[in-house]
Amino acid sequence: MAEKKKKLMQGNEACAEGALYAGCRFYAGYPITPSTEIAEVMSVRLPKIGGKFIQMEDEIASIGAIIGASLAGMKTLTATSGPGFSLKQEGLGYACIAEIPCVIVDVMRGGPSTGYPTGPSQSDIMQAKWGTHGDHPAISLAPAYVQEILTETVRAFNLAEKYRTPVVILYDEIVGHMREPITIPEPGEIEVIDRAAPACPPEEYFPYDNNFLVAPLAPFGEGYRFHVTGLNHKNDGFPTNDPKIIEENNLRIMRKIDENRADIWKNEEFGVDDAEVLVFSIGSTARSARYAANAARGSGIKAGLLRPITIWPFPDAAVEELAKRVKAIIVPELNLGQMVGEVKRAANGACAVEGIHRVDGEPINPAQILDVIKKYR
């Protein structure tokens, strides 16, 4: 068999590669450090395969464009960083209530506001869950390696299409600009999921049919006429003030994620089975955490790492279970405390929970994490 194709690739380039593999054929975005390379690659690659690239006038227009293109039947992508992600939040909420599949990449940088454009941060974790208002579903993936950015981008499109919902890919500037050798998957090697199409004739089609947990989505322009709105709506998409229908729809869009957590959640574990001290971390910080946990084991401390690759929905059950078995959970993150609060909530007092925080634009190094692990030997 021929040797698989390998490339030295930057994280942002791998994201674009994964999007193309998943079938993305529409990109709309506004250049912003440190995500701009995604747009650059898509601007070159998409026209060659019959896709469309549009540089939009701003971040709000960018998410509006991918929502529109998705309704026309295309798999769509936009990429940004913290300030741009903030501007996209109203559109993100619209995609949630209208159940429009799309993928948003947020390559995190220091903030708030313009902050530190070229430095790493993990300060958008809560924004990825609670940035838009109201009760709404949230799926957010947090890859830590260049290869994983490619495969998780494919998975993000699969989840968006399968559950008719926006999906956020959340990684930091370090991983976005890091270069690592990766294997380019062959066509068909990774599963690619397309949204379900209606099996009924147009006159019988309802885009928000509550008989389905996730109703089929017909593309505009193919004879299926329906209404799309950010208002609460009936099964035909037109607005309603009926309290029963409003509640049914709000509960259903949450249920389609909550009832499929086992399918959506994914993690990496290192040394968890016999761990006495657990580190919980994502992205580039998790790379330092794994090194620290390994070093701790070398000095006789049973340390382990739980790295959520799906950060939303949050892995409550895994944290709750492990908290009963360890002395402490250490949460290093490049912010002043976002994941640590969720870990404390899920641990529910079963063990000590301690955060390690850094916001000076530099990464958390293994030595910082190892020093805290040693407190619980």
Give the residue-averaged pLDDT of 138-151.
Answer: 98
The predicted model scores a pTM of: 0.96
- Alpha-carbon distance of 171 to 12, in angstroms, equals 10
**Predicted pLDDT at 3:** 64
Judge whether 139 and 347 are in contact, CB under 8 Å: no
Tokens standing for residue 53: 């690239």
Mean residue pLDDT of the chain comes to: 96
SS3 346: helix
Task: Select from 191, 162, 156, 154 the least CA-distant residue to 99.
Answer: 162
- Alpha-carbon distance of 157 to 172, in angstroms, equals 20
- Alpha-carbon distance of 302 to 326, in angstroms, equals 10
Is residue 152 exposed (0-12), middle (13-18) or buried (19+ Cβ within 10 Å)? buried
Task: Select from 192, 163, 166 the least CA-distant residue to 21.
Answer: 192
For the chain, list the domains and their CATH numbers.
6-183 (3.40.50.970), 267-374 (3.40.50.920)
Is residue 90 exposed (0-12), middle (13-18) or buried (19+ Cβ within 10 Å)? middle
**Predicted pLDDT at 1:** 43
Judge whether 78 and 62 are in contact, CB under 8 Å: yes
Judge whether 83 and 64 are in contact, CB under 8 Å: no
pLDDT digits (tens, 9 = 90+) for 301-340: 999 999 999 999 999 999 999 999 999 999 999 999 999 9
Percent of the chain with pLDDT over 70: 99
| Strand (E) or helix (H) holding 141 | strand 139-141
**Predicted pLDDT at 2:** 52
